[in-house]
Amino acid sequence: MTGRPKFHRARVSTLAAVPRDYVLLSQERGRQLLGPPPAGVQVAVWDGTGDAPAGIERTGFWVPQFLVLGEQAERVLRRLPALEVVQLLTAGADAFVGWLPEGVTLHDARGVHGGSTSEWVLAAILAAVRDFPRFIRAQAQRRWDYTITGELAGRRLLVVGAGDVGRQIQRKLETFDVEVTLVARRARDGVHGVGELPALLAEADVVVVVVPLTPQTRRLVDAAFLGRMRDGALLVNAARGPVADTDALTAELASGRLRAVLDVTDPEPLPAEHPLWTAPGLVLLTPHVAGSVPGFPARAYALVRRQVQRWAAGQPLENLVTDGY
């Protein structure tokens, strides 16, 4: 999505006259997963294409589609004068931060994607350390390519991001006899502050990035960040593409000094002609799939169901996004 809607003032002037008893979902399957709504609440489905359903102007609670499309999302939002709550199905809220009308609260899907994303991170690290891409290439060529690989035990891992995803990564990795250090915006018990990154980067064998995209984290992984990483270290990005400076990352990987496994890029999708594809240090690139697993919809709509029940009862909602987090 680009830019902010131009209807904030008009929305405020008509808000008092519009009932707020609709929950708007983006797909029919969501209605099934949500189950019966609370008494007095109606459920409608519209993704912004085709004709809008009757009563959409009474929507107080909106669940946008998982991979939100800018023009479609804006088309929906312009039809929701009574909107109070936006509940995302994503852990990251960057697509909506600063974009919603005044008075609309934004809630992310914290707790929904921690399991699947931490699984992807673990698979990414193991694939890189044990050199699976090399063996996959050899298998495709029917070539027996014996070699000694690295091992995960005894490595030092730095996880930049200490929310639900970061904590789950830590829990899973510690079963492999590794040393895991967490970094967050602010230092707290068991977590280092972002100001300590320069020293920590120099000691880590693997650096995992799982921060949300905010003005403070945009291009966090820049030339200076990468330059502080030790020779041969592995970068794993499961955050958002713009968290890394693509030019700086491409240059480091092209030199062969660092290696990387990426689930996200900037731009995304990555153009076929982009030099990142062929950089010697790029071990593996996946197309933003860390959270795309069969169990995701059920977990996501279990959260939506709790949130709708709270909203209908006038209770505080979970996962309120503040300052991009």
3-state secondary structure 262-278: ECCCCCCCCCCCCHHHH
| pLDDT reported for residue 16 | 54
Checking if the pLDDT of 6 tops 70, the result is no
Checking if the pLDDT of 160 tops 70, the result is yes
CA distance 252 to 13: 53
Average pLDDT, the chain: 92
pTM of the model: 0.89
268 included as an active-site residue: yes
| pLDDT reported for residue 3 | 41
Cα 220 to chain centroid distance, Å, stands at 16
User: Which strands make up the sheet holding 85-87, listed edge to edge?
Assistant: 42-45, 22-25, 59-62, 85-87, 105-107
Does domain 114-285 sit in CATH 3.90.550.10? no
| Site of tokens 């062929």 | 278
CA distance 235 to 231: 11
Long-range contacts of 141-147 (CB under 8 A, 24+ apart): none
Q: Would strands 59-62 and 22-25 be described as parallel, antiparallel, or unpaired?
A: parallel
List 79, 130, 288, 306, catalytic entry = 288
List 240, 252, 259, 299, catalytic entry = 240
Q: Which of 125, 123, 141, 133 is nearest to 293 (CA)?
A: 123
Burial level of 169, CB count in 10 A (0-12/13-18/19+)?
Answer: buried
Stretch 195-220: mean pLDDT, rounded? 96
Checking if the pLDDT of 81 tops 70, the result is yes
Instruction: Establish whether domains 8-112+295-313 and 114-285 are of one fold.
Output: yes
Determine the 3-state secondary structure of 125 from DSSP.
helix
Class of domain 8-112+295-313 (CATH, top level): alpha beta
| pLDDT reported for residue 280 | 97
Checking if the pLDDT of 4 tops 80, the result is no
CA distance 46 to 53: 7
| pLDDT reported for residue 151 | 97
Q: Would strands 42-45 and 22-25 be described as parallel, antiparallel, or unpaired?
A: parallel
| pLDDT reported for residue 69 | 64
The type of residue at 64 is P
List 74, 119, 268, 318, catalytic entry = 268
CA angle at residue 225 from 286 to 172, to 5 degrees? 50
CA distance 244 to 265: 8
For the segment 20-55, what is each residue's pLDDT rounded down to a tens digit? 899 999 999 999 999 999 999 999 999 999 999 999
Checking if the pLDDT of 294 tops 70, the result is yes
In percent, the amount of the chain with pLDDT more than 90 equals: 87
Domain ranges of the chain: 8-112+295-313, 114-285
Please indicate whether residue 70 or residue 91 has the higher confidence score (pLDDT): 91
Stretch 160-164: mean pLDDT, rounded? 95
Q: What are phi and psi of 73, to 5 degrees?
A: -65, -40
Instruction: Write the DSSP string, 156-193.
Output: EEEEE--SHHHHHHHHHHGGGS-EEEEEESS-BTTBEE
113 included as an active-site residue: no
| pLDDT reported for residue 13 | 40
130 included as an active-site residue: no
Q: Which of 60, 64, 33, 32 is nearest to 46 (CA)?
A: 64
